[in-house]
Amino acid sequence: EMKINAYAIHLRNIRAVFNYCIDEEYTNLYPFRKFKIKKEETRKRALTAEQLIMLRDYPCEEYQVRYRDMFMLMFYLIGINAADLFNAKPGDVVNGRLEYKRAKTGKLYSIKLEPEAMEIIGRYKGKHYLLNIMDEYGNYKDFLHRMGIGLKQIGECKRVGRGGKKVIDSLFPEISSYWSRHTWATIAHKIGVSKDVISMALGHSFGVSTTDIYINYDNDKIDEANRMVISAI
């Protein structure tokens, strides 16, 4: 049985089809006029500033360092999606900014590369890609899978029992790469960044989504917010 949010995803897809058909004048019927799509609140998937500092500075094992660095880089880039980060090319860096079209939505993004992000990018510089991940993996999802496992394994390792079985006391047993996005937004809100600026930074829509094309987004406000968030840790 599907959960409420799963039904909501399917209904939103159907609604998008109707909106397209109305725009293209294939129909004037709109079954969602009086129907509200329900959704339930999901469990928060974010770290506090204190927890993120703990993760950033934790003396993890050598194989975990790259996974942790990629998580921090995603955070420094306002929770950038893994597909957009790992598929980015050197040419996407323009005047100190990472400029790309988000694979999921097609929306254009321009993120200022703060020193913390540049340090990690320089350490993992790729040959054909901005980062060396895709130089080693044929599919970024393979690395992302390993990254998810590696992040969950960061923590104190103990040997227990006669056989010395390895047991890990994970710092954050449910963490994934996507937490970087929630973490950025959570910390931004905590330090007083307005919800409008947070929405702009995350690429969310204001009101009716079609009005987005008329809004001249203020990158300066987003840059300032990102610097504030990074400085908070």
Distance of alpha carbon 71 from alpha carbon 100, whole angstroms: 19
Q: What is the pLDDT of residues 179-197, one digit of tens each?
A: 999 999 999 999 999 998 9
Q: Which pLDDT band, with edges at 50, 70 and 90, does 10 fall under?
A: confident
Region for 232 from its dihedrals, namely left if φ exceeds 0, alpha if ψ lies in -120 to 50, beta otherwise: alpha
Q: Is the distance from CB of 111 to CB of 78 less than 8 angstroms?
A: yes
Length of the chain (residues): 233
Nearest one of 52, 111, 118 to 77, comparing CA atoms: 111
The residue ranking higher by pLDDT, 21 or 141, is: 141
Q: What is the pLDDT of residues 97-139, one digit of tens each?
A: 999 988 878 888 999 999 999 999 999 999 999 999 999 898 9
pLDDT of residue 173: 93
Q: What is the pLDDT of residues 45-103, one digit of tens each?
A: 899 999 999 999 999 999 999 999 999 999 999 999 999 999 999 999 999 999 998 88
Distance of alpha carbon 165 from alpha carbon 209, whole angstroms: 54
- Neighbouring residues of 141: CB distance < 8 A, sequence distance ≥ 6: none
Calculate the CA dihedral of residues 205, 118, 141, 233 and round it to 10 degrees: -70
| Mean pLDDT along residues 166-189 | 92
Q: What's the start-to-end Cα distance of the chain, in Å?
A: 41
pLDDT of residue 210: 41
Percent of the chain with pLDDT strictly greater than 90: 59
Whether residue 200 has pLDDT greater than 80: yes
Sheet with 93-94, edge to edge strand ranges: 93-94, 97-101, 108-112
pLDDT of residue 222: 93
| CA–CA distances in Å: residue 76 to residues 34, 186, 222 | 41, 14, 12
The DSSP secondary structure of 128-153, one letter per residue, reads SSSBTHHHH-SSHHHHHHHHHHHHHT
- For the entire predicted model, the pTM comes to 0.77
